[in-house]
Structure 1
């Protein structure tokens, strides 16, 4: 599903911030990406999404060499990926419901075919009473939950989540983890970037990918 071979990344003429990164993400797998603050976890997720291009090395996404992809091909591949970044990227002029439903609208689905599904998911993440609210009125934790719901609504083949439980209380964090688990059981590969050891300890079978000093170490 994803393959990195000796990937390196630097900005400008500076030193490489990621060095010789090699790993593969298999279909229907579950892994954590961890490491200290500033290690490059978000940067690595953006490389997977192809929103950043490496300075060197090979990135293969869904069987396609990233160097051979044009803008339209990259857009098509990204539609197979659910993404939750810490900046949320909600559209302020759309309600919570409309933000979560947006990926389905973009795919041409009629609202009648997805309305109940969107409402059920919003209730599951604790936003059932906030679905008609605009994002500027939402708290940080509520925005995060809306972003998670938007990523999950399309049942992606690959989910990339950057600190998805960072702004919620422990009870809701466990509930969100059950969502990720169910998504994984249904066939989605999951990559969760986190520094929360307690969160990772809840998944004994998950692989841990640890970033440090620009290099990646993998523990199965």
Structure 2
């Protein structure tokens, strides 16, 4: 599904921040991405989401070389990916419900076909009483759960989650992890960037460890 071959990335004329990354992310796989702060985890997640292009090497997404994909086709490919950014990227003028439903609206689906699914998912992430609240009123942990629900609502082929449990308490972290595991069982490939070793210990999954721009993989 995703193939990296000798990928490197630098900003401007500076040194490479990612070097010689070669790995595959198979369909229906589950992996954690970890490493010290500043190692480049968020940068790698942006490459996976195609919001950055490498300065060298090959990246293939869904059997297509991203270096030759026309810019107007990238949004269509990104719709196959659910992503949870650390800055959440919620729309402040939309309610919790509307933010989560947005990917389905963009696809042209009728509200009657998805309303119950959105409401059920918001209940699952503990936001059943916050459906009609605007993001500025939400806490950081609540915003994070809205972003997670939005990423999951359309059952993407790939889920990229950058520190998805960083602002929630341990019981909610376990609940969210269970949600990711269930999504994976349904066929979604999952990549979770995290510093939380205890979270990783709860799942038998591949670990991708990024350090000083290099990636080591432990199956």
What pairs with 1:121-132 in structure 2 (closer than 5 Å)? Answer: 121-132=121-132
Question: Which residue number corresponds to residue 135 of structure 2?
Answer: 135
Question: Which residue number corresponds to residue 209 of structure 1?
Answer: 208
Question: Which residue number corresponds to residue 181 of structure 1?
Answer: 181
Unaligned 5+ runs, structure 1: none
1:26 aligns with 2:16: no
1:50 aligns with 2:13: no
DSSP 3-state at the match of 1:108: coil
RMSD: 0.5
How many angstroms apart in 2 are the aligned matches of 1:52 and 1:65? 14
Could you report, residue by residue, the CA deviation over 1:85-144 in whole angstroms, capped at 9, with x for unpaired residues?
100000000000000000000000111110000000000000000010000000000000
How many angstroms apart in 2 are the aligned matches of 1:68 and 1:32? 29
Question: Which residue number corresponds to residue 5 of structure 2?
Answer: 5
Tell me the TM-score normalised to structure 2 length.
0.99
Question: Which residue number corresponds to residue 169 of structure 2?
Answer: 169
**Offset at residue 61 of structure 1 (A):** 0.2
How many angstroms apart in 2 are the aligned matches of 1:70 and 1:139? 39
Question: Which residue number corresponds to residue 115 of structure 1?
Answer: 115
Tell me the TM-score normalised to structure 1 length.
0.99
**Offset at residue 72 of structure 1 (A):** 2.2
Unaligned 5+ runs, structure 2: none
